[in-house]
Amino acid sequence: MNYAKRIDASPTLYSCGSGYNFYFADECRSCKVFHKSKSVVQHAKTKDLFYITPFPEDVDNDTKLDFWVELIRKPANLKHYIWPVDIIATTDASGNTRYALVFPFRELPTFENISSLLAKGVQAGWEAPWVQKLVANLLDAWCDFDDLKYVYHEFSVDNMFYQKENFNVMFDFSFSIHKTENLFDARSVSKNRIAPDFADSYYYTDERQSLMDLASDYYSIAVILFRLMIGRLPYQGKVMEHEPNDSELEHENWLEIYHKNTYFIFDIDDATNQIGGETGFAKDELYVDRWNGLPTHIKNMFHNVFQTANVMRMTDDLIFYSPHEWKEALSATPKAVELNYRYADAEVQVKEAELISEFASEPQNSGFCDVILTKTSEFGKTAAIKIILEITGLGLASATELYENTPVPIVQGVSEDLAKQIQAELFLSNAETTIGSNTKHNEQLESYIWQRMQGHWQHNA
């Protein structure tokens, strides 16, 4: 290659991390990475193609290059994170030096923006198999990142991605990334790069002045988990009423008020913003049911994080949980495993769903069953929902939600006789079910269902 001729023909970009690397810029070539347009450069010697991401305007251009070089040399798990391999100096339109990070092209499967999942709060809930799988993958990624003592800060629906086939996750690069050894070692982070939906409310106070720390990350993780497991934000109660969808400006104004009213919707001591109950909205019953269905220790963790005194840093006893602590707490509860499913058209399609318990001490062939609703029809819908109401004891909104979001388990861990009786009742209402095995018997649930359904079955006998 005639380097002199090539240098004359296109701008040359020199590596700030190594004197042996330089790249040729191609102003006519670009690419899309996670739906974002990127400029492409070519390595002068290997001819390999890379894409670059310039420093945002709000990132200090005088930041010591040693920080970025060190970060490049100690990457996070590339299974979950986009990570740079070099840093170069460029020149802006005014002739000023600006820096850009260099990223390699990777053979990645197709990832979708996670916003479509989080926006469908009605399909969330810890009992949904896709939520359990996504949460597990998110926690694995966060644990890897946390082990390296990295802080991310830019949690947003634009930076988090997932695969439809298996719910593997990928995070785009964050220019707010830094290393820390201290939970409360704070640094300034521009509001231009923070998504307020998941951000630490304390960050928006005048006292805080746009500072963030590792505790801010742990708070954001709790918000994302709560949004997935319950279906709404932790302060989105009666004080806030409905989240606007009309315009971006209205949404931003709503979020400003949201962060100034940090009253947890399930606070056990303060009912200011609670949902449900006699004075609540009918639609809130679904979220209350999901909350009541969570294990007590998980509810306690959410309460500890989201109570006002903790969020606004008004107590000496601050409580924030690491990804490892969340992972340990959630793995202590039974969950659906060995699922093979895909996510399409905003509906979970289960190819194979055998719901089993994680408790290895339980017998493997106990004869207990789960009844899984697999297919429904508008014809017979009212009768089927009535049966679900009688079986589960749920409210009308929650029972309707189950019916409309198949496949979904109706009951879990009951005897084969009861499972077949429930299956027959739903079949008469034009609803199809399958019976899956379960290693743990829910004796209390079994007795409860027999008692509730006794009159109904005798009436139809």
* CATH number of the domain to which 23 belongs: 3.30.200.20
- Residue 248's pLDDT is what? 76
In sequence order, what are the beta bridge partners of 187? 212
* Whether residues 184 and 319 fall in one domain: yes
Residue 146's pLDDT band, with cuts at 50, 70 and 90, is very high
Torsion of CA 437, 440, 443, 449, to 10 degrees: -30
% of the chain exceeding 90 in pLDDT: 27
- Alpha-carbon distance of 40 to 230, in angstroms, equals 42
The answer to the question of residue 219 being in a domain is yes
In sequence order, what are the beta bridge partners of 103? 51
Place of tokens 């290997």: 46
Sorted by sequence, the CB contacts under 8 Å of residue 349 that are 6+ apart come out as 341, 342, 343, 407
Residue 366 pLDDT greater than 60, yes or no: no
Torsional class of 257: left (φ above 0), alpha (ψ -120 to 50), beta (otherwise): alpha
Residue that is last in its domain, among 104, 139, 166: 104
Q: Which pair of structure tokens corresponds to residue 120?
A: 């469908």
* Whether residues 86 and 117 fall in one domain: no
* Whether residues 12 and 121 fall in one domain: no
The answer to the question of residue 357 being in a domain is no
- Residue 282's pLDDT is what? 60
Residue that is last in its domain, among 73, 104, 135: 104
The answer to the question of residue 351 being in a domain is no
Within 10 angstroms of residue 63's Cβ, the number of other Cβ atoms is 12
- Residue 142's pLDDT is what? 96
Least confident residue range of 327-341, 410-424, 425-439: 327-341
- Alpha-carbon distance of 233 to 275, in angstroms, equals 12
Residue 122's pLDDT band, with cuts at 50, 70 and 90, is low
- Residue 326's pLDDT is what? 95
Within 10 angstroms of residue 96's Cβ, the number of other Cβ atoms is 9
Structural domain count, the chain: 3
Query: Distance between alpha carbon 302 and the CA centroid of its chain, in Å?
Result: 15
- Residue 86's pLDDT is what? 92
Residue 362 pLDDT greater than 50, yes or no: no
Residue 306's pLDDT band, with cuts at 50, 70 and 90, is very high
* Whether residues 210 and 316 fall in one domain: yes
CATH code for position 228 = 1.10.510.10
| Nearest-10 crossing angle of helices 296-306, 214-230 | 130
In sequence order, what are the beta bridge partners of 14? 22
- Average pLDDT along the chain: 80
* Whether residues 100 and 125 fall in one domain: no
pLDDT in tens, 307-342: 999 999 998 889 999 999 999 999 874 333 222 222
Domain range for 384: 365-460
**Mean pLDDT (whole number) for 152-169:** 90
% of the chain exceeding 70 in pLDDT: 83
* Whether residues 227 and 119 fall in one domain: yes
- Residue 360's pLDDT is what? 26
